[in-house]
Amino acid sequence: MNFDICALFLLLGICTVVTGTYDSDEDCEDESDIEPEKPHIGSGSFDRKSKRFALIRNQVSGLVLDARKGHVVVEHFSTSPSQLWKVEDAGSGTFYIINKATGNALYLDYQNDRKRNYLITIPKYSLNENNKWSAQWYVNSDDTIVTSRKELAITIHSEDFSPGDKVIGFPKHGRHNQLFGFQYK
């Protein structure tokens, strides 16, 4: 719908009348060259080119990911190699997260949209086209780490942060039980 808009501007005591048309179907700006926001483009708190191992520490509790009990859990820091991880490029901005003790990749044991998708480690060679997304991670600048397909974030299962709590994949919300950073040794 077109209609005239009259505006009166006072500039230095001079009156000027400006008329124009407004078409509600037209955008003010051409947004065709604006790229949509990508949710996983952050670099996180890790060195993507480092071959060094690091602790993956929850930013609030200080507990670290530990892979020695079958499932990945959070524990107090120790000198155990089961608490050390490194990233390897998996392509398209994703990374494999490899455990020092086992040499296995951090893997989301996805259970068809259940809310308890546990993190485990599996040999990287066992990944195939159907399941590799469960071991490919985006490390985000907001301190979340999420899977490459379902946007399930590494999450401490219990929000009271007890050592031994299992770590799960849960839809990203960015609260304190999903905030992790890499601490290099």
Nearest Cα neighbor of 155 from 140, 142, 138, 172 is 172
Percent of the chain with pLDDT over 70: 71
Sequence-distant (6+) residues with CB within 8 A of 156 are 58, 61, 63, 74, 165, 167, 177, 178
What is the rounded average pLDDT of the residues 130-134?
90
Q: Where do the domains of the chain lie?
A: 54-184
Confidence class for position 46, pLDDT limits 50, 70, 90 = low
* Cα–Cα distance, 182 to 85 (Å, whole number): 9
Q: Which residue has the higher pLDDT, 105 or 34?
A: 105
Selection from 107, 98, 84 nearest residue 182 by Cα: 84
As a three-state string, the secondary structure of 17-47 is: EEEEEEECCCCCCCCCCCCCCCCCCCCCCCC
Q: What confidence score (pLDDT) does residue 40 get?
A: 35
- For the cut 70, the answer to whether the pLDDT of residue 63 exceeds it is yes
The fold for domain 54-184 equals Trefoil (Acidic Fibroblast Growth Factor, subunit A) (2.80.10)
Distance CA 96, CA 151 (A): 15
**Percent of the chain residues topping a pLDDT of 90:** 57
DSSP helix/strand/coil, 177: helix
Task: Label residue 53 exposed, middle or buried (CB < 10 Å: 0-12, 13-18, 19+).
Answer: middle
